[in-house]
Amino acid sequence: MIAPALPPQLHVFVRDWLSSNNIVLKGGDGAVVIDSGYVRHVPLTLALLASRQGLDGAPLAKLVNTHCHSDHMGGNAAIARAYGCPIALPASEAPLIEAWDTKTLLLDYADQYADRFVVDETLDAGATYVWGDLEWQALAAPGHDMAALVFYNPEHRILISGDALWRNGYGFVMPPEIDPDAMPATRATLEMLSTLDVRVVIPGHGDSFTDVEPALERAFKRLTAFEADSQRMARHALKVLLTFALLDRRQMRLADLPAYVDRVPIYRDFNARFFGLAPSELATTLVGELERVGAVRRSGDFLTPG
């Protein structure tokens, strides 16, 4: 696939599923970086930002987050330290960060981590910001994260979508039993995105893409399937989290997984609420389903990313 054309002052470092993409916008008012990756990848993130395609020695005027999940804000503290820049994030995330609410932020609650940092500025849905000499409308995109924003540039018809829309789906959404507002919000967000005139989506994970309509169709289809089945949503969330843990640790001992899903609170809470399985049964179910789609592999006594 040929990378879609983007304005020259905009560069996307495409990362993986452990770290979100990093978007660099260079402009007359200084450079802005959107999303900072996962804490384990901080050395790589700093190296990319220092590189020629990154800031190349220029100062950083601002670090922005689309939302406050560990894979988007894990490098915040290190980047703010390295560049002495302010951090701006969605206004509704600010109280969670200020309180360091690690349950709502899905940090230790989900066996994910980030270094604590200070919020310097908040971003409001409906406001327009100039980053990289381009105007970006901040639009509320609740669902996967109820406080998330996306950023839309009408001139070049670019959407920075975070985890609200990927080429294949979107970030996992909490089942209605956990947050009754999350699924309706996801649908409303996809409907809002459908009304935008978008040429290129720069997602939080994966390459930028121009086939926006099929991506929206896939997202709606997935949403409809999940709306009918809370247990499936809950299983999907745990599979996403287990895959993330595996990418973080590189491997996990199969024999340790029952204790792991019994110890990490979100697995324990979801198991009690949705499945009522013995920890070993839950581990076997999750691993089996991930193996079938090639997301994980067994090698000897260990589970590794697929």
CA atoms of 238 and 271, how far apart (whole Å): 10
Task: Give the list of residues 6+ apart from residue 94 with CB closer than 8 angstroms, or none.
Answer: 119, 122
Cβ proximity to Zn ion: between 202 and 257 the closer is 202
Cβ proximity to Zn ion: between 54 and 162 the closer is 162
Of 190, 205, 210, 277, the residue nearest 247 (C-alpha): 205
Closest approach, Cβ 79 to Zn ion, in A, equals: 18
Cβ proximity to Zn ion: between 78 and 237 the closer is 237
Neighbours of 29 (CB within 10 A): 12
Cβ proximity to Zn ion: between 111 and 163 the closer is 163
Closest approach, Cβ 126 to Zn ion, in A, equals: 22
Write the binding mask 85 to 124 for Zn ion: x where contact by CB under 5 A, - elsewhere.
----------------------------------------
Cβ proximity to Zn ion: between 17 and 220 the closer is 17
Closest approach, Cβ 255 to Zn ion, in A, equals: 30
Q: Residue 163, interface with Zn ion (CB under 5 A)?
A: yes
Q: Residue 69, interface with Zn ion (CB under 5 A)?
A: yes
Closest approach, Cβ 171 to Zn ion, in A, equals: 4
CA atoms of 49 and 85, how far apart (whole Å): 13
Q: Which stretch binds Zn ion (CB under 5 A): 47-55, 169-177, 266-274, 294-302?
A: 169-177
Q: Residue 203, interface with Zn ion (CB under 5 A)?
A: no
Instruction: Write the single-letter amino acid at 230.
Output: S
> Please, is 39 exposed, middle or buried when counting C-beta atoms within 10 Å of its C-beta (0-12, 13-18, 19+)?
buried
Q: Which stretch binds Zn ion (CB under 5 A): 157-165, 222-230, 233-241, 273-281?
A: 157-165
Edge-to-edge strands, sheet with 22-25: 10-13, 22-25, 31-34, 60-64, 87-90, 121-123
Closest approach, Cβ 26 to Zn ion, in A, equals: 25
Q: Residue 35, interface with Zn ion (CB under 5 A)?
A: no
- # residues near Zn ion by CB under 5 A: 3
Which residues, 255 to 294, sit near Zn ion by CB under 5 A?
none
Cβ proximity to Zn ion: between 24 and 110 the closer is 110
Neighbours of 118 (CB within 10 A): 11
| Cβ contact 77:117 at 8 Å | yes
Q: Residue 142, interface with Zn ion (CB under 5 A)?
A: no
- Please provide the size of the chain in residues: 306
Could you tell me the maximum CA-CA distance found in the chain, to the nearest angstrom? 58
Given CA atoms 4, 9, 15, 19 in this order, what sign does their dihedral have?
negative
Binding site for Zn ion (CB under 5 A): 69, 163, 171
